[in-house]
Amino acid sequence: MRYTEFTRTLVEADDQIKTVTKHDVEQTLRKAGYEDFKVNGNKINVLVQIPSGQQENEFRVSMLEEILTILKKIYGNQVSFSNDPGLSSLGGVVFDDGPVSVVVKDIGKQGNNSAGVGNELEMAGLIASVIQKYTTANITFVDPRGKKMTIKNCTNVDVKGRDTADRKKADVVLSSDKGSLPISIKKLNADMWESADTMIGARARVILDKLVKEGLVKLKKIGERKTRSGSVPVYALSKEIVMEPTEEEALSAVFGNDLNPKGGIVVQTFKPEHFVQDGPTVTIDCHAVITNASEIPESHLMVWLLRNDSTRNGGTLGVAGIRPLGVTLSRGIGKKGTKDVILVDQYGNVVDNPNIK
């Protein structure tokens, strides 16, 4: 462990140690050999490189254990581990007398290495190079059905993949003198539309309670979670639940507040062969182009999924261990439609799946 030599010089913390600041903690970790940090408010994200061949979560947990040992040497019993998923999916280190917390993140998933962003940059980089050469570019996205999205005389490409405020969905915005075209890009294997803790939690709880009361699904207590406000029970579903959304919910989950009617979604994992350039004109081949609800392929129709996730604290659902997600239909019921789930309409009434014998 990298902290071994460092801890030999540490002095046991005084029982009356003053309130810990994030500066104190960061300096302590720097002396222990950690170098990369991303600080958000009072949360210190320690960024680590996951070695080749290592399991990401196992490695991050071992780093958290190491950090906890280091900080206990300095701050004593006022520092502890919390598995509150509000800190991170694996929990983090917290202090009893202050708001400072420490979590571990994979440095390879920060910034432009985040999931999906590489796909956006692939497309944005090519369009930007065409604009640089020809001043403007004529861009058309097309799928095998003939569905298209086009912007002429595009002069700017703005990557927006990390701007999700006010329910924005656009990953890239193409602009011309006459307006803009916001585009959400989904890789071929992407099967999630929405992380739905806030959006659907309260309504999903009503349906969950109904199904439990009817004996169609069971909730089994699997443990307790320590949070700053106390301990809460953690549950697991006996079977996943797939819920039909309302039309309004589906449109919001898929298009957000910025893609309809002036933009849309393209489904593709971009490779060089998907881009055909003829001077300032670029045609981009997509698996699907979606500008309105009628263009969503059946495989990508949106449904709500309630599934087990022991890291979740419950959110507006109010049941720790259960996570609501907006997913594609193929994710919810399986690519062949034979996944063994409880399928219900928007009111919580069970719908028979004809593919299940």
Quote the DSSP letter at residue 270: -
E strand map for 155-209: 156-159, 172-176, 179-186, 192-195
Mean pLDDT of 276-294: 94
- Give the closest residue to 311 by CA, choosing from 199, 253, 235: 235
Query: In Å, what is the CA distance from 99 to each residue of 40, 61, 67, 340?
Result: 12, 21, 17, 43
> Does pTM surpass 0.95?
no
Q: Which one-letter amino acid corresponds to residue 16?
A: Q
In which band, very low, low, confident or very high, does the pLDDT at 267 lie, cut at 50, 70 and 90? very high
| Number of alpha carbons in the 13 Å side-chain half-sphere of residue 37 | 19
- The per-residue pLDDT for 5 is 42
pLDDT at residue 244, as a whole number: 95
352 pLDDT more than 50: yes
Q: Which CATH number fits domain 4-109: 1.10.3470, 3.10.20, 3.30.460, 1.20.120?
A: 3.30.460
Sheet containing 302-308, strands listed edge to edge, beginning at the edge strand earlier in sequence? 192-195, 322-328, 302-308, 241-243, 342-344
In angstroms, the Cα distances linking 323 to 25, 173, 197, 299, 343 are 32, 31, 7, 22, 16
- Rounded to whole angstroms, the Cα distance separating 220 from 222 reads 6
Task: Report pLDDT digits (tens) over 201-210.
Answer: 899 999 999 9
For the chain, the straight-line distance linking the first and the last C-alpha, in angstroms and rounded, comes to 54
Share of the chain above pLDDT 90, in %: 42
**Using 50, 70 and 90 to split pLDDT, how confident is the model at 20?**
confident
55, 64 contact by CB (below 8 A):
no
How many residues are listed for the chain in this entry?
Answer: 357
41, two tokens: 């408010």
Could you give the CA distance from residue 305 to residue 298 in angstroms, rounded to a whole number? 16
Separation of alpha carbons 187 and 191, rounded Å: 9
- What are φ and ψ of residue 77, in 5° steps? -75, 0
Place 2 in a pLDDT band, splitting at 50, 70 and 90: very low
Long-range CB pairs of 209-218 (<8 Å, 24+ gap) are: 210/348, 211/241, 211/342, 211/344, 211/348, 216/342, 216/350, 217/241, 217/342
- pLDDT at 17 (0 to 100): 44
- What are the pLDDT digits (tens) for 169-196? 888 999 999 999 999 999 888 888 987 7
Location of each CATH 3.30.460 domain in the chain:
4-109
Count CB atoms within 10 A of the CB of residue 158. 14
Q: How far apart are CA 91 and CA 84, in angstroms?
A: 5
